[in-house]
Structure 1
């Protein structure tokens, strides 16, 4: 019922190396952002097909505890009686992992690339996953926030056919991005959901643009106050 992408990117800011992690997902049901995408400063995970939310929630917790993504997600699947109906994939600072159970609904499958994973089920075909991956790969050198590039990757997959259940007009999409850098105010566009719409990816892209505009206006007017507040919290 879903296709999604998880990404790891390494970058430098003022001489310090950082990581950012992102996950984006869409489906022909409402509220996918409450069920499937999980991210923190240690990695990103997507759980889908016959969804088990605990696989994503606990997977992220395991990454924060220092487990490698492959060890964390395999351990969860080994303890899950419903594993044959699950899709679970993600990235951490060092690796990638993707699993598609043999009882997922066609077309289903996944791909693992350099620093990313893509998976989907109930799709029109493999080209959906391929288009999503290609769109992300082609965006990696662009000077745009990861959330925007992930939304565009979903758009590319949708243009290839996406979820094959065209009779379901209520759809949703979501994107979550986290990084290892401290910010005076976390960018609002790094956690955006469209919970029910007939055009969720377009709506997601438009909402991201508005959220970025609002964040930039807020930082322009109040950045000094945010920085002072952060220093006060540290002092306490």
Structure 2
């Protein structure tokens, strides 16, 4: 299933405490990708795709919550999965990264790991898609919320060719961001999905913009009360 990015970012909150945020974003030329592929919590972020095994994401997050390192957790799950050569699985935790592309994933398929992120894709027009996603994220800075920067990274991959299955017009996209910070109100724009549309990234950008506007309006309203 198409292409995705997982990232971690260290930051200092308003109280001067060290925190991490984790994010994952994915898009595909099939409906409902947000229900199957992206997983994130205060412990890390994981994407499972190609011939998708949702349990790799669910169990992977459970292992991270138990303190297992992301590379140990995901490799152990793949070792127990008879269909692993048809899978893509990648993710990050607070200390490491992991990325795997099975030998039987459909071309073009591959992945890229950076210091704080992983990108993977299959059934793409070429390696340039994964590179564009990674480079967009690397150059994104920290001025905008992570969710927006992840959506923009997917947009860069789409502009570089994206999913090659042009005969499948109904597509989807999703973004999820979680943090170790204990916040009174989580931003509404940190968990968004577009489940069935012909323009998933445009629609996800519009959804993000509206959710951000609604979040800021709620902050203003309840601050006054």
What is the TM-score with the length of structure 1 in the denominator?
0.93
Quick one: distance in 1 between partners of 2:112 and 2:154?
15
Alignment-derived partner of residue 144 in structure 2: 144
Alignment-derived partner of residue 6 in structure 1: 6
RMSD: 0.9
Alignment-derived partner of residue 64 in structure 1: 65
- Helix, strand or coil for the counterpart of 1:21? strand
Quick one: distance in 1 between partners of 2:129 and 2:223?
41
Superposed CA deviations along residues 117-153 of structure 1, whole A, max 9, x for unmatched, are 00000000000000000000000x2311000000000
Moved runs in structure 1, 4+ residues, more than 2 A? Answer: none
Gaps of 5+ in 2: none
Change (3 A) 1:83 1:106: same
Alignment-derived partner of residue 45 in structure 1: 46
Alignment-derived partner of residue 75 in structure 2: 74
Q: Which moved more, 1:181-190 or 1:154-163?
A: 181-190
What is the TM-score with the length of structure 2 in the denominator?
0.98
Counterparts of 1:1-236 in structure 2, within 5 Å, are 1-13=1-13, 14-139=15-140, 141-223=141-223
- Helix, strand or coil for the counterpart of 1:193? strand
* Contact residue 184 and residue 223 of structure 1 kept, 8 A: no
Quick one: distance in 2 between partners of 1:73 and 1:151?
25
Deviation at 1:114? 1.4
How many residue pairs get matched? 224
